[in-house]
Amino acid sequence: MGFFTDFKILNSFFNEKNHSEQIIFYSETANDWQHLSGIILELLKKYDFKILYICSDKNDHGLKLDKDNFKSYLISNKHLLTWLFKNIKSKVMIMTLPDLNQYYLKRSKYPVHYIYVPHTLSSLHSIYRKRAFEYFDTLFCVGPHHIKEARRIEKMYNIRPKELIEYGYNKIDNLINEFKNFKKKKDDKINFLIAPTWGENCIINNGKVIGVIDHIIALKQNIILRPHPITVRNSSDILKKILSKYKSYKNFLYLPSTDNNLTLFQSDVLISDWSGVAFEFAFALKKPVLFVDTERKIKNVDYDKVGIESFEYSARTLVGEFFDSTKNYTLNNINTVDDKQIIENIFSVGRSAEVAIKYIYKLMNKK
């Protein structure tokens, strides 16, 4: 798509009437749909609000949704997006992209209420830049750790307090619902899913994945390698070497797509480093996770000043344990999370979309 195509779509967007009855969602990448879709579908089912869905990725599943009161717009040009954001008039705008008003996407000059929807269970003060949520009015929070972190950050920087909603995590709810109907094929072997994060310190790039794979081969178990999409794009040479090294092992499977949850359902144990999928796997499916320790990804230069350990660090021994190359793993000798621990760490399990639409309805009817 080019500038003029985007401009025509932008013009179509602003031809929409009755802005006070609209709810706008913004999706930067196709991955955002899995975090926003539950709220959108529940709103369409329960209420008559018009939903305008702006996305910047041609592969976004929201572009395929055909429902009354729902209209999608594909706009990727940054200059047009900047202008659009500044001139939005709707009462409520919902997004899963942090750093609002910090870069090219600014708050509107009109009184719009901005809601942030989490796209990971990770802490607010570690993998994000400092003050990444300052310009939102409401934060939907995954669990108690988000409440504690948000209030501490507000106090540190003297930021206006936000509405903090005990929302939960829609992706976990979706995984739980889908997994109920899944029937695994019988197999005597354990399916080990290797799903790391991306970047120079991930176990694929730093080479630690080799020791992991070698150990699973020694145990004569199944291996599924599912790299992060950014690793597939940026580290293809490294992946080619790994695939070449293990092509003769018949129980090795390479599945680079993260578009569906079938790989998670088929797997018995997940091996990761700092990927958020580890906690989704553990809390939704109650399956064990093995963590390979690597250098942490900290984007906030003031992380240590916040004085709270990050959830993704402290929860690793809650949902699993650290990978041990001397251990003969079975499905009965790895630590897993229990129901009580899930409820203590995740708000509104199974009800996140319901919590969200009730809050949005209240905002839309506020005079």
pLDDT digits (tens, 9 = 90+) for 101-146: 999 999 999 999 999 999 999 999 998 999 999 999 999 999 999 9
Residues in the chain: 367
- Give the per-residue pLDDT at 187: 79
**CA gap 281, 258 in Å, rounded:** 13
Res. 298: pLDDT tops 90: no
User: 235 with 205: CB under 8 angstroms?
Assistant: yes
190-211: per-residue pLDDT in tens?
Answer: 999 999 998 898 999 999 999 9
**CA gap 278, 269 in Å, rounded:** 10
* Residue 4: pLDDT band with limits 50, 70, 90: low
Q: Which long-range contacts (CB under 8 A, 24 or more apart) does 337-345 make?
A: 337/282, 337/283, 337/286, 338/286, 339/286, 342/283, 342/286, 344/144, 345/143, 345/144, 345/145, 345/283, 345/311, 345/315, 345/318
- Give the per-residue pLDDT at 21: 82
Question: Phi-psi category of 69—alpha, beta or left, where left has phi over 0 and alpha has psi -120 to 50?
Answer: left
320-342: per-residue pLDDT in tens?
Answer: 999 999 999 988 888 889 999 99
- Give the per-residue pLDDT at 148: 97
Q: What is the mean pLDDT of the chain?
A: 92
> pTM above 0.75?
yes
Res. 13: pLDDT tops 90: no
Res. 366: pLDDT tops 80: yes
- Give the per-residue pLDDT at 186: 79
User: 293 with 321: CB under 8 angstroms?
Assistant: no
Average confidence (pLDDT) over 223-249: 93
- Give the per-residue pLDDT at 335: 83
Average confidence (pLDDT) over 303-309: 90
Residues pairing with 72 in the sheet = 53
69-101: per-residue pLDDT in tens?
Answer: 999 999 998 989 999 999 998 999 999 999 999
Nearest to 275 by CA among 294, 288, 261: 294
Res. 169: pLDDT tops 80: yes
